[in-house]
Chains A and B, each alone.
Chain A
Amino acid sequence: DAGVTQSPTHLIKTRGQQVTLRCSPKSGHDTVSWYQQALGQGPQFIFQYYEEEERQRGNFPDRFSGHQFPNYSSELNVNALLLGDSALYLCASSAIGSGSYEQYFGPGTRLTVT
């Protein structure tokens, strides 16, 4: 099991553009959470998907949206990119359907907005 995988590893976008990040959860996991980690800070919760629905959301604007597919993989979309969106985006999976809230993290996608 490769664990949680994320793609791409890193990318560079221009202000105003849109970006899609992808996450495949650990085998047997049904829940995906997304976090933003700015330089020098801890991860900050964006939102969580379970059963293809957004279940909880942190303090992020509507420019941040997501999706979960029937195979439990997930996408994070960010519209109208701002310089401040430059960060490491982490995906974490868990098996909430089995009653386990322990989150396993992926390696992250490094987004740079110029």
Chain B
Amino acid sequence: AQTVTQSQPEMSVQEAETVTLSCTYDTSESDYYLFWYKQPPSRQMILVIRQEAYKQQNATENRFSVNFQKAAKSFSLKISDSQLGDAAMYFCAYGRYDATNKLIFGTGTLLAVQP
């Protein structure tokens, strides 16, 4: 069975600095996709970034980028120029290419941004 591990329960970063959140996963599949979701205090789950395993190029969305290491089964999220609004819980999620689109989530990393 697939598993997703986020080993950093909490992280802190200074405003305008860069922070990297870690995520590792375990799978025997060769084709899959990975997500980072953000959950601010409002509780709403917001998609941050998406990566397909067959793509070698790392996904980027403005200040958010990933470092996808398929062989190491690692999918870290880098937030550049951190802003106060980036403070949230961040979840890494794994999805298989099957007929269900089910996702497996990690336990989350709570990011604090210090002014």
| A associates with B | no
Which residues of A approach B to under 8 Å, CB–CB? none
